[in-house]
Amino acid sequence: MEENTALSIQHITKVFPGVKALSDVSFDIRRGTIHALIGENGAGKSTLIKVLAGIYTPDGGKIFVNGSEARFRVPRDARAAGISVVHQEIKLAGPLSAAENIFIGQLLYTKLGFVDWRAMRRRARELTRELGLDINVNAPVSELTIAKQQIVEIIKAINTGCRILIMDEPSAVLTDNELTVLFRIIRQLREKGYTIIYISHRLDEIFSLADDVTILRDGRHICTTEIGNLSREKMISLMVGREMGAEYPKEAVQLGEYVFRAEHIVREGVLHDVSFAVRQGEIFGIFGLVGAGRTELARAVLSIDKRASGEIVFRDRPENWHNFRAAISAGFGLVPEDRKVQGLCQHFSVEDNISVVAMDKLVRHGLLQRKLNDQYADEYIRRLSISTPGRETQVQYLSGGNQQKVVIAKWLMADSSVIFLDEPTRGVDVGAKVEIYRLITDLVKKGKTVVMISSEMPELLGMSDRIMVMHEGHKMGELMRGEATQEKIMELCV
């Protein structure tokens, strides 16, 4: 163990019933660095984080903090050793102020034994100013943006005296401007001597931020090295254990006639006279910054939300859908942005999630044909390579990438002609991303039409035939595949 090692993980093993989540994992993290921890869903990242946070007790191995062995039986032990975690899901008390959240569990008191609210507010302001931020520490955190809530989490961790800060997918729901602020804070903390463990599926962030990187795969340690020693292609290969080929497996498809048109879509205060048309076999991308109205457009087109005006024309026939069920019956599907809440029934099985919108295929004389349901489920599990212990497994226990495949399978079983994909790879590891891109390519090769909404510009540039750009509910323009660049898209965005 080198002298500048902040954290040494030695032979850590963690076993759950039927699953070896971590198997003899060993690596060191240098003090005062940003250390990326990456791997596919199911690689063991979350389990390792919970071991370091004192949530799980390892079944074998040792942890050393600044050269001394540490045993974490509960999260309080990890915090006492100087380790704090900023989780992907914000864990703050909404009604309490930012200052109150920062001092939860470590209140300051006056000499007379009263809670010193003034001192806590003053210290909270000092901590925010040290990071070059302007946050109203008296405001309830529920009134702050997600980005500012995340910063409150960071300040809360710093206030506990932590020197090792674990950040789990901190960028998942942030805008580009908010990301710039977050990255500045992370680099600033590194300059102050903090050690940052950074978990993200976004490889661009890893190459931009990290000094070192550790790759896990199937619960095993694969590699720890300086970031400069890895190319993007090599990193992906180590993560997935195989050569992935092209990151965006787009294939040329002969486009058919215009199959679907949305004309003059208006939703008061949200969408302003938006029109677009999509051809059979086309991947039609929609891009815009936060607040552009991308998701709102899909929901208005599919009659999930009520339109003030506008017309939908499908196969040259005007459609007057009054609800989403009517759109489904016409041949439309939606893979929503929030798959866990809007796309899946978490406590239902994989099988039941796949069949939920295509029950007419499975019911005979009012009775569900269970054997036929099993056959369909097995077919789509095989076709989409869904990794699951079985069709009866509750979908909540699948990785993010496999959950997304279940949502896509649902619309394949419904035989949808036009499928809207809203953020299809959000929270999905790089290996599963490529598999989803291949699924999209297979869909359009079979004559389906895909409308792909994404905040990841490289994804749209890599997969789309055309890209429509939106800004504050307005359509700003369209770019063909050959002419679209990041610069041209951003010009239209702003």
pLDDT digits (tens, 9 = 90+) for 180-222: 888 999 999 999 999 999 998 888 889 999 999 999 988 999 9
pLDDT at residue 131 greater than cutoff 90:
no
Max mean pLDDT range (102-106, 284-288, 413-417): 284-288
DSSP state, 228? G
**Measured distance CA(380)–CA(371) in Å, rounded:** 15
Report residue 66's pLDDT band, with 50, 70 and 90 as the boundaries. very high
- Choose among 335, 346, 345: nearest CA to 416: 335
Residue 369: both structure tokens together: 């044909």
- What confidence score (pLDDT) does residue 223 get? 94
- CATH number attached to the domain at 258-493: 3.40.50.300
Instruction: Determine whether 442 is exposed, middle or buried from the number of CB atoms within 10 Å of its CB (0-12, 13-18, 19+).
Output: middle
- What confidence score (pLDDT) does residue 432 get? 76
Task: Examine domains 5-240 and 258-493 and report if their fold is the same.
Answer: yes
- What confidence score (pLDDT) does residue 190 get? 95
DSSP state, 305? S
- What confidence score (pLDDT) does residue 478 get? 95
Q: Which of 56-70, 142-156, 307-321 has the lowest mean pLDDT?
A: 142-156
Report residue 244's pLDDT band, with 50, 70 and 90 as the boundaries. low
**Measured distance CA(126)–CA(108) in Å, rounded:** 15
Provide the angle, in degrees to the nearest 10, between the axes of the packed helices 146-159 and 117-130: 110
CA 42, 44, 45: angle at the middle one, nearest 5?
A: 105
- Choose among 346, 354, 342, 334: nearest CA to 398: 346
For the chain, the structural domain boundaries read 5-240, 258-493
Q: Which residues of 447-483 are buried (b: 16+ CB within 10 A; e: fewer)?
A: ebbbbbbbbbbebbbbbbbbbbbbbebebbebbebee
Residue 436: both structure tokens together: 């989803």
pLDDT at residue 60 greater than cutoff 90:
yes
> What is the pLDDT of the chain when averaged over all its residues?
89
pLDDT at residue 245 greater than cutoff 80:
no
CB 198 within 8 A of CB 37: yes
- What confidence score (pLDDT) does residue 18 get? 67
- What confidence score (pLDDT) does residue 242 get? 61
CB 214 within 8 A of CB 160: no
For the stretch 423-461, pLDDT in tens is: 988 877 777 788 889 889 999 999 999 999 998 888 999
Mean pLDDT of 466-470: 95
Fold of 5-240: Rossmann fold (3.40.50)
**Measured distance CA(189)–CA(170) in Å, rounded:** 15
Mean pLDDT of 462-467: 95
- What confidence score (pLDDT) does residue 313 get? 94
For the stretch 392-426, pLDDT in tens is: 999 988 877 788 889 989 988 888 999 999 998 88
Q: Which of 143-157, 214-228, 241-255 has the lowest mean pLDDT?
A: 241-255
Label the pairing between strands 258-267 and 309-314.
Answer: antiparallel
Percentage, residues of the chain above pLDDT 70? 98
**Measured distance CA(229)–CA(203) in Å, rounded:** 14
- What confidence score (pLDDT) does residue 420 get? 96
